[in-house]
Chain A
C-alpha cells in the first residue's frame, strides 16, 4: 500500500513516516502544498494523510485540486484546528476522514486501515438518470459531475428511486425500503426526505404523482448517456 504523507513539521513527519513504514506502508513525504499536489497528481497512492496548515498552498486547496482532477484516493485530514467548521470545509473539499492534533499514532493507523477497507474495489457499475449518477458500491452520488453530499437515508431513497426510475413508487413502498424494521415511521417522513433530496439534486427530477407516490425522471433535454 502506498501512502502519501503531507506534513510540514519535520519532527512529526519523521515520527509518522517511521510509524507508517513499520505498519507496512510505502511512504512518500511532501512538506508543502505544491509538492503534495504534484505527488498526488502523478503517483497512484492508495491513501493520503494531509495536514491542513501547509506552506505555499494550504491543504484544503490541494485537496480541492485533486478532486477536481478526478483523483479518488481516500484522504485523511490532520488538523490542529479542532473546530467543526474546519472539519466541514475539509469534507466539502472532498476529505474522507479527519483527525485532530494532537493524536495517538495508533489511532491514525486504525483510521487509515478503515479508509483502505472502505475504498477497496470502488470501480463498479453505476446507476444513471440524466445528469444523476449513483455508485452503489462506493455509496456515492453525483449530479452533473458535482459530488452530492447525502446522508445515508437520503442516499437510500435516491438509490431506490434510481433503481426504479420512471416508475411511480408509493410512499409505503419507499418507507419500507428506507428504514429497517425497528425504525419508527411517521407519515410525513417520505415528504421530508423527498424535500431534502430535491434541494440537493434539483426540484424537478422527482415528480410527485398525486395520490400515488413519486417518480424519478431525467430532465427534458437530458440524455442518459451524459
Chain B
C-alpha cells in the first residue's frame, strides 16, 4: 500500500489509480486537490497577466518607434513646405528615395481643412502614386482641438486605389495641424508608413510568448502536482502507520516525521499511551478487588472446611458460588477493558516457553512432558496477559488430565489468523459433554484439584478477540482443543 493519494483511511483499495474525476471533482474534500487547484489557479492567472502585459508592451514600443519615424517624416515635409501669399502650398522636392518610389511604404501628404470639416489634399508624396491616405471623419475635429499635437491612428485598409477597395497594406498614419508663416489657414501634414512588418513581428512575438508561457504554466502545474504529492507523502505514511496500529501490526507511531506533523504523530502516541494507562488502571482496580475479596473467601472456605454440620456445608457452598461470581465479573470487567486496546502484539514462542517450563515444574510429580512447536515470529494480535491466560489455562487443563504428554502446535493460517492446538494423552472428554464444557466452562475440572474456571475464561477471552475454540478427540487419546485467534504479521 505505497500509493494512496488523497483517499480517506477507509478506502484501502487505493492501489488502483482512479479516474481523473477525483482530481477535478469537488476540491473541498481532498487536501491534495485543494492545493493543486489553488496553485494552478494562481499560476494561470499570473501567466495570463504576464502574457498580456508582455505582448501589449511589445506592440506599444513598436508603435512608438513607428511614431518617431512618422514625426521625422512630418518634420521633413514641414521644413520643405512653402506657403505662397495667395494661400497656395508648394513642397520642395524631397530627395528621399522612399518618398519617390511608388508604393514604397513611406508616404506623406499636405492637406487643408476644407468646408464641411473635410480635409482637402493639397500635395501628396510621389510614392502615393495618386492614391490617398485614408482620413477618418473625426480627424479634422480632433486636430483642431489639439492644435500642434500629433495624432496617430491605424489605417487597417491601407491605400485606396481610386476608391476601388483596399490595396491591402495596413498603414500607421500620423497627422499634425500646423500654422505656416504667411498663411492664415492652418495646414494639416499627414505621414503614413507601412506597418505590416510591425504587425507580423507583434504576432510572432505574441505566438512565441504565449507558447512559452503555456509550457511554463504546464511545467509549473506538474511541478506543483509532484510537490504536493511528495510534500504530503509523510501524511500518507502517517496514515498507513495509524492503520498498522489499528490492525495490530505496530504498537506505536515509530517513525520520525517532518516538523509540521510530528506533533500529530506524538499526539496519536500520547492517545495510545493514555488508552493503555486507562486499561492498566482498570486492571489494577480489578486485581485489587480480586485480592480484597479472595483472602476473606479463603478464610471462610478453610473455616467451613474445618467443621462438620449443615451450617459449614451451607457456608462452603455459598462461598464457592461467591468465588465463581467474583471470577465471572472480574473477567467481564477485564474483557471490557480489553475491547479498547489497540495495537498490542505478542510473540507466541516466549509465552509457550515460559508456560511449558512453569507447568512442567508444577506437574513434576506426574512427569508431564510438554512438547510445543511454534514458528519463529508468529505473533498474537492482542495482549501478552491475555495470551498467557488463554494458553496457561488450556495447557494447565491438558497437564491436569494428561498421563504423561501434552502437545502444543501453533501456526499461522493466513488471513491474519492463527491456530493453536493443545492436545493431551489423558482420558479425553465424551462428545456430549464438550458443548456443555464450552458453554459453561466452569465445572468440568472440578474433579481434579484446583479452582477450575479455566475453560470459561478461555471461552470468554477467545470471544472477546473474535476467535473460536473447539474441542475434539486427539490422536494421542485425550482431548484436543483448537484455538483460533487473530494473528499479527510481523
A interface residues with partner B (beta carbon < 8 Å): 9, 11-12, 15-16, 18-19, 53, 80-85, 87-88, 91-92, 96-98, 100-107, 110, 114, 117-118, 139, 149-153, 180, 183, 192, 196
Task: Indicate if the CB atoms of B357 and A149 lie closer than 8 Å.
Answer: yes
Is A84 in contact with B355, judged by CB distance below 8 angstroms? yes
Count residues of chain B with CB under 8 A from any CB of chain A: 49
CB-CB under 8 A for A114 and B365, given A12-B295, A88-B354: yes
Instruction: Report whether A110 and B297 are in contact in the complex, using a CB–CB cutoff of 8 Å.
Output: no
In the complex the two chains form, what is the Cα distance from A81 to B393 in whole Å?
A: 14
Query: Can you name the residue of chain B whose Cβ is closest to the Cβ of A196?
Result: B353
A84–B297 CB distance below 8 A: no
Contact A80 B291 (CB under 8 A): yes
Residues in B with CB closer than 8 Å to A18 are 306
Given the complex, which residues of B lie within 8 Å of A83, measured CB to CB? 287, 385, 388-389
What are the residues of chain A within 8 A of B327 when measuring CB–CB?
Answer: 82
Q: Which residues of A contact B364 (CB under 8 A)?
A: 114, 118, 139
Give the interface segment out of B81-89, B102-110, B367-375.
B367-375
Interface contact B302-A105, CB-CB below 8 Å: yes
Q: Given contacts A103-B298, A104-B449, A153-B371, are A80 and B353 in contact (CB under 8 A)?
A: no
Chain B, residues 331-358, CB within 8 Å of chain A (1/0): the string is 0000000000000000000000111111
**Residue from the list A81, A103, A139, A153 in contact with B287, Cβ < 8 A:** A81
Shortest beta-carbon distance, B485 to chain A, in Å? Answer: 16
**Total inter-chain residue pairs, C-beta < 8 Å:** 120
Q: Contact check, A80 vs B405: say whether CB atoms are below 8 A apart.
A: no
Q: Are B370 and A101 in contact (CB under 8 A)?
A: no
Q: Is B361 an interface residue (CB 8 A)?
A: yes
Closest Cβ of chain A to B449, distance in Å, is 5
Task: Give Cα A139 to B358, complex, Å.
Answer: 13
Contact pattern, B 439-472, Cβ under 8 Å of A = 1, otherwise 0: 0000000000111000000000000000000000
B354:A149 contact, CB within 8 angstroms: yes
Closest partner residue, chain B, to A114 (CB atom): B365
Residue B362 at the chain A interface, CB threshold 8 Å: yes
A residues near B319, Cβ cutoff 8 Å = 102
CB distance from A40 to the nearest CB of B (A): 20
Give complex CA distance A109, B326 in Å.
25
Give the A-binding residues of B (Cβ under 8 A).
287, 290-291, 293-303, 305-306, 319, 323, 327, 353-358, 360-362, 364-365, 367-373, 384-385, 388-389, 391-393, 404-405, 449-451
User: Could you pull out 7 A-B pairs where Cβ atoms are within 8 angstroms?
Assistant: A15-B303, A84-B385, A84-B389, A85-B384, A88-B358, A104-B449, A153-B371
Contacts of A9 in B (CB 8 A): 295-296, 298-299
Set of chain B residues within 8 Å of A183, measured between Cβ atoms:
371, 405
| Complex contact A82–B305 (CB within 8 A) | no
B297 and A101 contacting across the interface, CB-CB below 8 Å: yes
Are A153 and B369 within 8 A (Cβ)?
A: yes
Q: Given the known inter-chain contacts A85-B385, A118-B364, A151-B372, please indicate yes or no for A15 contacting B291, CB distance below 8 A.
A: no
**Known interface pairs A53-B291, A88-B358; A151-B353 also in contact (CB < 8 Å):** yes
User: Which of the listed residues A82, A96, A183 has the most CB atoms from chain B within 10 Å of its own CB?
Assistant: A82
State in angstroms the CA–CA spacing of A196 and B372 once bound together.
11
A81 in contact with B305 (CB, 8 Å): no
Chain A min CB distance to B474 (Å): 12
Are B302 and A12 in contact (CB-based, < 8 A)?
yes
Q: Give the CA-CA distance A151 to B369 in the complex, in Å.
A: 8
Q: Is the CB of A85 within 8 A of B451?
A: no
Q: A85 to B350, alpha carbons, bound, how many Å?
A: 13
* A102-B319, A102-B323, A151-B360 known; A80 vs B295 contact (CB < 8 Å): yes
> Contacts A80-B290, A101-B294, A102-B319: A151 and B302 contacting too (C-beta < 8 A)?
no
